[in-house]
Amino acid sequence: MHVAELWRYPVKSLAGERLDAVEVGADGFAGDRRVHVRGPRDRVLTARTHPRLLGLHGTLGPDGEPRVDGHPWSSAEAAAAVQRAAGPEARLARWDGPERFDVLPLTVLTDGAIARFEADPRRLRPNLIVAGVDGMAEQTWPGRELEIGAVRIGVAKVRQRCVMTTYDPDTQVQDLGILRRIVDEFGGSLALDCFVIRGGRLAVGDPVVLR
């Protein structure tokens, strides 16, 4: 097995960026989900209720700060883009605590599961895609560890999926049949919620060993 893809989402609920390599720490990929969207009554807004956010692209700038469609996250341009997507009261805010993750810092997906899913894997918002896995073997991995060079990743559980999977990552057109298939064929869960045991550097092509 080996690392096939690496993905980071510097701004929560926005489209992410595909990476060749990344540093991994106790709180996941460096720069992941460091900024999020807040709305009325200071509540967090996500693409579950505001899918147009998926049409914006979050990246990490050379200064280590998140960007929205190439603009610094604190800029007027980024603010305007987010308000167009999520309403006039939407605003961007920094979020450094572990609670910025819905469950755990890393989502791991395998090529075997992608083949069975038969839809764009970006709908599942993985951080790490592992290639060389037969079928749905990933669903037997909870309780085990992935060793990737110096990095050790613990597999906690299979991830329960939500309505975000129903939105096309490019057009934001909703297809409720996607979530119905996940429920009917995969028991509502697909990909893996994971945590970091030991950090380090990951790169595409790195060998992956299941312990």
Given this model, what pLDDT does residue 76 score? 97
The pLDDT value given to residue 82: 97
Decide: 1 and 200 in contact? Cβ < 8 Å. no
pLDDT band at 77 (very low <50, low <70, confident <90, very high): very high
**Summary mean pLDDT of the chain:** 95
pLDDT at 31 exceeding the cut of 90: yes
- Residue 111 vs residues 114, 135, 203, 207: alpha-carbon distances, Å: 5, 8, 17, 14
- C-alpha angle with apex 176: 175 to 178, nearest 5 degrees? 80
* Beta partners for residue 97, in sequence order: none
- The whole-number pLDDT of residue 102 equals 77
**Which domains does the chain carry?**
2-27+102-210 (2.40.33.20), 32-99 (no CATH)
Residue 103 has pLDDT above 90, yes or no: no
Q: Which residues contact 4 (CB under 8 A, 6 or more apart)?
A: 111, 129, 130, 131, 204
pTM comes to 0.94
User: Span 36-42, mean pLDDT?
Assistant: 92
- pLDDT digits over 193-206, tens only? 999 999 999 999 99
Pair 202, 19: CB distance under 8 Å: no
Q: What does DSSP say about strands 106-110 and 128-131: parallel, antiparallel, or unpaired?
A: parallel
How confident is residue 32, by pLDDT bands cut at 50, 70 and 90?
very high
- Kindly state the tokens that stand for 16: 């992410």
| DSSP secondary structure letters along 104-161 | -SEEEEEHHHHHHH-S-GGGG--SEEEES--TTGGGG-TT-EEEETTEEEEEEEEEEP
pLDDT for position 133: 98
pLDDT at 99 exceeding the cut of 80: no
Residue with tokens 């709180």: 27
